[in-house]
Structures are given as C-alpha cells and as structure tokens.
C-alpha cells in the first residue's frame, strides 16, 4: 500500500533511560523541532517539512520527503536531554536504514547521518522563490553540493519579506546522486545508496557565511559535531530543576511526567532564537507577545530563568530601536511587525505581567530597572483605548483566530485585556512608587485611572454570577475606528487578506455601513449583515483570573463554573472552551491550553479530583511530547509542536505533582 494511503497509528510513549520512542505508520505524524538558536528545523519522522536556515525569521527554502512510491514505516527516537533524533526506516517489512538528525551546537547546520542497507530516495521540493545557483557532484570522491538562493523580498510569512538575498547550501559525503525530477517543477530527487552518508544543510544567511560554515562542517568528523552538540544540550538540561528529586515518589504517572518535562524543555529550546524570541510553531516564524508569556511562565516553572529573561531581552532590544511593539515581531531581521487589530492592548499587558513574574522568581531589581522605559510605554499605550472602563480585544486572540469567538466582537470590551491592564498595572505602579520614579501627581493620576477601571470591572464583566468574555456596551462609550489593520471579516475568493499567492493574511480593512470590517476588494461588493449583539462566556477566559492570580474575582465565586466544567468533562470525556449556553458553533473545540487552565482552577479552588485532569492532560500529549494549538473532539487540530500550549499545560502538571499529597 502506498504510504499516503495508510492509516495513522501510534503506540504509547515508551520510556527508556536513553531515548523516547515513537512508532509511526502515518500519513500525518506529529511534528518535532530541532534547533540551536541560529537554525530551526521541523520534521515529521524522517521528513524535513520546514527549515528556517538562519536567522529564525527567514523563508523556509525546501522540504525533503522520503519518496512515497515504496511503502515504508518509521520508528523514531529522541535522545533524552537533547534534540538528536534517530529514525529507523523499514521498507517492505525489512530494515532499510538508520537516519540521525541534529542541528550542530555552534553552526547553523543540520546534519543528517545515514547508514543505509538499501537505496532510499528523497524528494527535495524547493520553495518556488529558490534559485539553484550551482550544483556539483564528484562521484569518484563521493561528494557533492548544491547552492541555493532567494532574492531580496522573498516572502517569509504572509506579506512579510526577507529584505536581503538569502543563501543556503546542501552538501554531502557518500554515495549520493542528485537529479532534477521529470515530473515536478522545483523538485529534485536525492538518491542515497547503500552505505554511510552525511548530508549537511547549511545556513548563513550571507553567502560568505554559508561557504565558511560549510567548509567548517565538512572539515570536521560527523562524530565530533555530534559530541559537541550532545555536550551543549547536557549544559542546557543541567540548568533545569532536578524534578527527579523534587517530585514525590508516589506522584501518578511520574515517569511519563518526567519524560514530558524533558520533551517540552527541549522543544521550547530548539524554537528559541539566539535573539531570545521563541517561535509560535512551524508556520509562524515570528516572536508573538502573547504566546511567549505562557512560554516564559513555563520556563520559570522549569527553572530556566535565563531563557525566560532572554524573551524580555528580545522585546527590549526591538523597543529601543523602534519605540513600539506589536502582536509579533521579526526574529533576527529588522523592521518586521505583525500588526493585528488593537495591538496596543492585551500584548502590552502580557509584557508587564511577564516582567514581574520574572522579578518574583529572580529578585533581580536591576533588570526591571533596565527595561523600565519599555514597561512604562506598555502601561501608557493601553490607557487611550479605555472606553466605559474597558479595553477592546487584540485581533490575534486565540479564541478569535480559532473561530471560537467571532471577529465582530473585537471592539467590544474584553474581560481578559482589561484584567491584564488592572493586574499588570497594579504591579507596575506599586513598583514605580517604591522606586520613586514618577512625580507624585503623575503617580496619583495613574492610580486614579487604575482604581476607576478596577471599580467598574465587575459591573462590566461579572454578570449573573459569572465572568463574561465580551461586553458590547463598550461601543456606547466610543466610536469604533474607521480603519483597522487586521483580518477581513468576509474572506473567501478574491479577498485581499486571504489571497493564496503568499501575500495574504493581515492587511488594512475598513468599516462598512453595518459596522463590519472588510478589505477593499470585499468592501466593493457591499456591506456585510450586521453582527449579532451576543455576549459570550468562554471557559478559558473565565479561568484566567486564577491563572493570573487575580484578586478581581473571589476564588469562591468561580467554583460553580469549575464544577460545571468538571461535571461536563466527567460526563462527556471532552474539554471544551465554550459552555453549552453560549455556544454558537458546536461545543466540541477547545484551545490547547484549556487543559492546563482547568487543572490550575481545580487546584486553586479544590473542585473535583484534580488528578482526573492531570491524567487527561498527560494523555493527550502527542508522541513527541507536545500539545497542539487546538483540540476537536479531543483530537489535535491546528498547529502542532506548540511552545505556548505546551508550556501552560506543563506548568499546571508540575504544580499538581509538586503539591501531591500536601
């Protein structure tokens, strides 16, 4: 049977002293990541699906897939404490070869070492923007190379482009031949014969850097590169809290949790660039503010204080140059800002909270003082969006992007954004007061704003004994903007925002006669129907006061909702981001971190049996040890290998385990 027609099956995690194992007979196996801060690579078993060659915000230049004309199976392992992956390939029921992948510790080079018992062919599928500048094969010497380039202006993601030419080289040692495909444009066939082969995928990004990196890699033994990479990973793993000692001996699923701690630690580190930013997953080569808040919390829970500080360093460096921050920023390439609707709310609140989470863990007052100008901006930029003592939604909010909350609500009052303003603002203003950084009048004026917003929070968002997600009444206190930089509400064929030529995504929209926001192309077709004026109650938002340790809602007042969520889970076996009463879409989709938020809530309020959610959260981790962006009927949906969801869920699991039996 052809591989693309086989059914995806996988075994449970096999815990071993030296590796984790996954067994894949799959059309869509889970995705794993490899990286060293300079190069980031994503794989599915032996397939390389995305390569960001250096820096992290660059176009992905190619995919390398096992040719699918021969049925094959893969058994993949990752060495504990490292991002060294080994893939055992079988074809026709017989072992075909062993492939080992790692990104070198010091160079932006992905090394693939192969020991093959038979020929294995790979499809090298180039990004259409890639030019092949040169290719050489020296069959007698058993070497070859292929030099790739994209011109300045090649798309990284949506409409964001890399501003300079980008170079990359593929080089090899061993019995390899490279031929253009007879069937597909921009495709080559890499035929690897029986024997030992080393393939080097080399980043730069400049031409001189690529050549130097290639020569340095080829001048070393593969084993030498592997050993220094293992050493680099050992240093990283040694900085982590020793959970083998910290966890009680009788914690349920203790070995599975220890394995997942290692899985997530490595997964996050591979996606953390040397600039400090952590990617949001393989389709999103940018540094997202909201995502990295949860990642920072997870890093702090793991004991990785330096890595958490480096995330803030990333924003501090950009803010010093640009004076602004947006929903997401380019990593290692200047001038790229992913601008969503209402970027001056929610994201700045997360940054303030993140800074004070770090301060609480490290006690490093000097660091907070150093980045204070950025934190001051984060506070000031939010205030002008207050209307009726409420802030609106940021357009890249997970619930909106996932279709759980309609985009038509973005100008409504947002409980979460407003809560972040209050809780983050309280920490910041108290710190300013203690360090006497503002004149008394300025401090008093800002305390007055904070006090007023806090005093109206329950009036605006606590309705009939529950926390609502959005409040349309905010629009009674402000005129919505005529233009927004974000997503067209109509979408569909021809829409500027949803174009398929690589330049779609986020763009300017204008409000139509019925208050809906459309791109210029869609606007010309006439207004959309007016949106329904609906108040939503999303479980995720209702649980955030406990996640933020907020005093805005008393813990006891949240117990009825948590009881409802827990009872629903016990009855259906599913976690959902919606309550049945508020659902417009089917009540089957959840954001991937709902599991962690619910476990937090149960631990804080004493509702139900937290061990149930602990076990459930561990049970849905995929075969690489990561959580997904969304779940539909409990099945992964959306982006896999996600640092944000994985960090939030893991922090909750660690909290449960450290306090087990207390």
For position 114, which CATH number holds?
Answer: 2.70.98
Question: What are the helix (H) ranges across 487-554?
Answer: 520-523, 539-547
Which residues make beta-bridge pairs with 121?
A: 191
pLDDT for the residue 28: 66
Instruction: Tell me, yes or no, whether 20 and 101 share the same domain.
Output: yes
Instruction: Tell me, yes or no, whether 115 and 33 share the same domain.
Output: yes
Cβ contacts of 330 within 8 Å, gap of 6 or more: 57, 156, 160, 286, 287, 336, 337
pLDDT for the residue 591: 86
Instruction: Tell me, yes or no, whether 254 and 231 share the same domain.
Output: no
Residue matched to tokens 């700045």 = 348
Does 622 fall in a domain? Answer: yes
Going by their DSSP bridges, the two strands 109-116 and 160-162 should be labelled as unpaired
Record the tokens describing residue 111, joined without a space: 């090394």
Running DSSP on this structure, what letter comes out for residue 551?
S
Instruction: Tell me, yes or no, whether 33 and 141 share the same domain.
Output: yes
121 neighbors 52 (Cβ within 8 angstroms): no
Task: Provide the number of structural domains found in the chain.
Answer: 2
Cβ contacts of 430 within 8 Å, gap of 6 or more: none
Please enumerate, as own/partner, the contacts of 558-565 that have beta carbons within 8 Å and a separation of 24 or more: 558/467, 558/601, 558/605, 559/605, 559/607, 560/465, 560/466, 561/466, 561/467, 562/598, 562/601, 562/602, 562/605, 562/607, 562/608, 563/607, 563/608, 565/539, 565/598, 565/601
Running DSSP on this structure, what letter comes out for residue 610?
H
Does 359 fall in a domain? Answer: no
CA 547, CA 350: separation in Å to the nearest integer?
Answer: 12
pLDDT for the residue 13: 23
CA 9, CA 63: separation in Å to the nearest integer?
Answer: 23
Q: Which of 213, 236, 259 is the last residue of a domain?
A: 236
Going by their DSSP bridges, the two strands 72-79 and 19-25 should be labelled as antiparallel
Instruction: Tell me, yes or no, whether 158 and 266 share the same domain.
Output: no
Does 463 fall in a domain? Answer: no
Does 32 fall in a domain? Answer: yes
Instruction: Tell me, yes or no, whether 147 and 24 share the same domain.
Output: yes
Does 523 fall in a domain? Answer: no
Decide: helix, strand or coil at residue 582: helix
Residue 661: closest CA among 190, 247, 51? 247
Instruction: Tell me, yes or no, whether 266 and 124 share the same domain.
Output: no
Residue matched to tokens 């040719």 = 67
pLDDT for the residue 493: 76
CA 408, CA 390: separation in Å to the nearest integer?
Answer: 17
Instruction: Tell me, yes or no, whether 548 and 571 share the same domain.
Output: yes
CA 610, CA 211: separation in Å to the nearest integer?
Answer: 55
Does 432 fall in a domain? Answer: no
Q: Which of 176, 211, 236 is the last residue of a domain?
A: 236
Is the preceding omega at residue 520 within 30 degrees of 0, hence cis?
no
Residue 393: closest CA among 382, 126, 380? 382
Which helix (H) or strand (E) is 661 found in, with range?
none
In which residue ranges of the chain is pLDDT below 50?
A: 1-27, 500-503, 580-587
Cβ contacts of 418 within 8 Å, gap of 6 or more: 389, 390, 391, 453, 457, 460, 461
Instruction: Tell me, yes or no, whether 157 and 255 share the same domain.
Output: no
pLDDT for the residue 504: 57
Does 571 fall in a domain? Answer: yes
pLDDT for the residue 585: 40
Which helix (H) or strand (E) is 182 found in, with range?
none
CA 441, CA 425: separation in Å to the nearest integer?
Answer: 17
Residue matched to tokens 């905010």 = 474
Residue 548: closest CA among 375, 423, 389, 652? 423
Nearest 10 degrees: CA dihedral of 246, 250, 254, 257?
A: -60
Instruction: Tell me, yes or no, whether 174 and 230 share the same domain.
Output: yes
Does 661 fall in a domain? Answer: yes
587 neighbors 576 (Cβ within 8 angstroms): yes
Range of the domain at 644: 250-270+537-662
DSSP class per residue in 343-362: TTSSHHHHHHHHHHHHHHHH
Instruction: Tell me, yes or no, whether 143 and 260 share the same domain.
Output: no
Record the tokens describing residue 244, joined without a space: 């083998």
Record the tokens describing residue 405, joined without a space: 């909350």
Instruction: Tell me, yes or no, whether 263 and 145 share the same domain.
Output: no
């Amino acid at each position: 049977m052809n591989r693309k027609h086989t059914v995806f099956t996988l075994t449970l995690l096999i815990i071993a002293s030296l590796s984790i194992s996954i067994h894949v007979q799959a059309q869509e196996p889970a995705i794993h990541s490899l990286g060293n801060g300079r190069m980031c690579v994503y794989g599915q078993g032996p397939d390389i699906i995305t390569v960001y060659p250096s820096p992290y915000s660059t176009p992905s230049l190619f995919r390398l897939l096992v040719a699918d004309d021969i049925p094959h199976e893969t058994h993949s392992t990752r060495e504990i404490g490292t991002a060294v992956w080994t893939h055992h390939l079988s074809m026709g029921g017989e072992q075909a070869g062993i492939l080992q992948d790692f990104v070198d510790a010091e160079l932006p080079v992905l090394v693939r070492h192969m020991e093959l018992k038979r020929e294995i062919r790979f499809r090298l599928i180039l990004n259409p923007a890639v030019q092949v500048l040169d290719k050489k094969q020296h069959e007698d010497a058993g070497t070859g190379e292929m030099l790739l380039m994209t011109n300045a202006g090649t798309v990284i993601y949506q409409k964001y482009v890399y501003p300079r030419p980008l170079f990359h080289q593929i080089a090899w040692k061993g019995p390899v031949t490279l031929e253009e495909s007879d069937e597909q444009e921009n495709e080559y066939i890499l035929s690897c014969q029986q024997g030992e082969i080393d393939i080097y995928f080399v980043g730069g990004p400049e031409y001189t850097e690529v050549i130097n990196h290639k020569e340095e890699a080829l001048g070393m033994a593969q084993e030498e590169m592997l050993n220094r990479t293992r050493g680099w990973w050992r240093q990283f793993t040694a900085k982590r809290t020793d959970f083998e000692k910290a966890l009680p001996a009788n914690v349920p699923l203790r070995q599975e949790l220890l394995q997942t701690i290692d899985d997530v630690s490595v997964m996050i580190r591979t996606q953390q660039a040397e600039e400090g930013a952590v990617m949001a997953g393989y389709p999103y080569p940018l540094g997202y503010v909201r995502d990295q808040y949860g990642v920072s919390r997870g890093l702090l829970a793991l004991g990785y204080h330096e890595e958490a500080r480096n995330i803030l360093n990333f924003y501090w460096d950009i803010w010093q140059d640009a004076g602004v921050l947006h929903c997401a920023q380019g990593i290692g390439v200047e001038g790229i800002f992913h601008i969503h609707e209402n970027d001056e709310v929610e994201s700045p609140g997360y940054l303030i909270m993140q800074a004070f989470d770090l301060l609480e863990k490290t006690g490093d007052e000097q660091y907070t003082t150093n980045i204070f100008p950025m934190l001051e901006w984060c506070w000031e930029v939010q205030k002008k969006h207050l209307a009726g003592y409420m802030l609106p939604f940021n357009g890249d909010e997970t619930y909106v992007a996932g279709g759980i909350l309609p985009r038509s609500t973005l100008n409504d009052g947002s409980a979460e954004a407003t809560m972040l303003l209050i809780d983050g603002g309280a920490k910041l203003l108290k710190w300013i007061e203690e360090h006497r950084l503002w004149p008394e009048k300025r401090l008093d004026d800002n305390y007055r704003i904070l006090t007023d917003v806090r005093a109206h929070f329950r009036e605006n968002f606590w309705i009939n004994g529950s926390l609502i997600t959005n409040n349309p009444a905010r629009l009674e206190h402000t005129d919505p903007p005529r233009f927004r930089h974000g997503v067209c509400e109509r979408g569909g064929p021809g829409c500027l925002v949803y174009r398929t030529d690589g330049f779609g995504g986020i763009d300017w929209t204008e409000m139509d006669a019925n208050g809906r926001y459309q791109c210029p192309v869609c606007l010309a077709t006439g207004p959309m129907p007016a949106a329904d004026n609906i108040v939503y109650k999303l479980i995720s938002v209702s649980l955030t006061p406990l996640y933020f340790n907020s005093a805005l809602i008393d813990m006891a007042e949240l117990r009825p909702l948590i009881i409802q969520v827990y009872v629903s889970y016990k009855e259906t076996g599913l976690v959902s981001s919606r309550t049945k009463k508020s659902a417009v879409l089917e009540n089957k989709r959840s954001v991937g971190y709902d599991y962690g938020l619910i476990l937090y809530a149960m631990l804080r309020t004493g509702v139900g049996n937290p061990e149930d959610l602990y076990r459930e959260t561990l049970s849905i981790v995929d075969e690489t040890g990561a959580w997904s962006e969304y779940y539909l009927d409990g099945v992964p949906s959306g982006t896999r290998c996600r640092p944000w969801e994985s960090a939030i869920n893991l922090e909750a699991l660690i909290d449960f385990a450290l306090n087990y039996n207390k």
